[in-house]
């Protein structure tokens, strides 16, 4: 069966099958090879793309901008100060206006509801560049990196350490359960993921042959891990909780001891960046031979380009 994603939005991996996710990863690998060879097929020539940013960004902004330009499209950056989104104008009205002018819309901001309204009312593909609930473009980059390192996604033991209810933990659990990975969250019980989401992901895992384990025991959780992944302990907008978070998450720091506790000399370390070194990860680990964080950062661009080409390309 061939995969056709034309006109689809990319809001959460809940909306995508394992086959479609793998297709996007493979397309990204192909586009990366072509870029390295100097081949640009201009799959989005003549298209105009709106990039809406309520939250600042390095990787997401650069990835969408370069992805557009490589494929022949024009990116238009719109910060929260440039447009009236949800302030003087409803999200629905902004969506309808932008949908008549642009061929695709990226949104990076706070509310998952906002990105869903943009998709519902704009009539063009909308791509989630991050919300408080989800971060699906990052997960594609993570899976691409895993496939490059291990040659497969299914069957990988993937351990996420830290804040088990933030957007990265959510997005990774959705993606991993769809793809048949053995997915573990190691976190303090006070930061366990939402039970409804865990149940949904367990239903995906049942279908894909994967497993989900949530545990507060770091050493037990990382045994046999192929991947250890972490994210910042204090998410954007939660700065007032910093001291309390650092105290409760200190035992979940990714350091040499935790990496060695896997018993697997080929374990890789991943992080979506930006990282707060010596908090969620030690400098020794992020700069060490197991770290693939900069491959992963580069792959944001290739996977975001793949999403745009697949959904809004010619």
Distance in angstroms (rounded) separating the CA atoms of residues 310 and 314: 9
Among 134, 226, 253, 272, the active-site one is 272
Active site residue 135: yes
Among 61, 103, 112, 138, the active-site one is 138
Distance in angstroms (rounded) separating the CA atoms of residues 283 and 263: 21
Active site residue 272: yes
Residues contacting residue 309 through CB under 8 Å, at least 6 positions apart: 27, 31, 43, 44, 71
**Which two structure tokens, joined as six digits, stand for 169?**
């933990």
Task: Starting at the earlier edge strand, list the strands of the sheet with 104-108.
Answer: 74-79, 48-53, 104-108, 126-130
Among 8, 59, 61, 135, the active-site one is 135
Strand partners, 53: 79, 108
Distance in angstroms (rounded) separating the CA atoms of residues 131 and 108: 6
Distance in angstroms (rounded) separating the CA atoms of residues 108 and 310: 20
Active site residue 142: no
Number of residues written out for the chain: 314
> Is 233:165 a contact under the CB 8 Å cutoff?
no
Active site residue 96: no
Identify the CA nearest to 165 among candidates 189, 142, 149: 189
Among 231, 245, 271, 302, the active-site one is 231
> Is 148:295 a contact under the CB 8 Å cutoff?
yes
Among 245, 271, 300, 302, the active-site one is 300
Among 108, 245, 271, 302, the active-site one is 108
Which H or E run contains 129?
strand 126-130
> Is 206:195 a contact under the CB 8 Å cutoff?
no
The Cβ-side half-sphere exposure at 206, using a 13 Å CA radius, reads 6
Distance in angstroms (rounded) separating the CA atoms of residues 145 and 4: 23
Residues designated as active site:
108, 135, 138, 231, 272, 300
């Amino acid at each position: 069966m061939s995969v056709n994603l034309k006109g689809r939005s990319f809001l959460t991996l809940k909306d995508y099958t394992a086959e479609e996710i793998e297709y996007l990863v493979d397309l990204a690998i192909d586009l990366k090879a072509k870029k390295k060879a100097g081949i640009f097929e201009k799959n989005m020539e003549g298209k105009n793309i709106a990039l809406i940013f309520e939250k600042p960004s390095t990787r997401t902004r650069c990835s969408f901008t370069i992805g557009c330009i490589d494929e022949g499209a024009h990116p238009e950056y719109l910060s929260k100060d440039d447009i009236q989104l949800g302030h003087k104008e409803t999200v629905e009205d902004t969506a309808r206006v932008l949908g008549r002018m642009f061929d695709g819309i990226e949104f990076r901001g706070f509310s998952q509801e906002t990105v869903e309204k943009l998709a519902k009312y704009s009539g063009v593909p909308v791509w989630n560049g991050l919300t408080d609930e989800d971060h699906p473009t990052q997960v594609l980059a993570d899976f691409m990196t895993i496939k490059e390192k291990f040659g497969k996604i299914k069957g990988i033991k993937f351990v996420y350490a830290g804040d088990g209810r933030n957007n990265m933990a959510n997005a990774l659990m959705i993606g991993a359960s769809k793809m048949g990975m053995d997915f573990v969250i190691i976190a303090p019980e006070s930061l366990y993921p939402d039970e409804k989401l865990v149940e949904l992901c367990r239903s995906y895992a049942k279908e894909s042959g994967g497993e989900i384990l949530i545990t507060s025991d770091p050493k037990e959780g990382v045994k046999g891990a192929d991947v250890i992944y972490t994210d910042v302990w204090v998410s954007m907008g939660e700065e007032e909780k910093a001291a309390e978070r650092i105290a409760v998450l200190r035992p979940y720091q990714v350091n040499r001891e935790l990496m060695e506790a896997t018993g697997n000399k080929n374990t890789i370390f991943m992080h979506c960046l930006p990282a707060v070194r010596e908090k969620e990860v030690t400098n020794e680990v992020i700069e060490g031979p197991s770290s693939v964080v900069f491959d992963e950062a580069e792959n944001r661009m290739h996977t975001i380009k793949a999403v745009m080409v697949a959904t809004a390309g010619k």
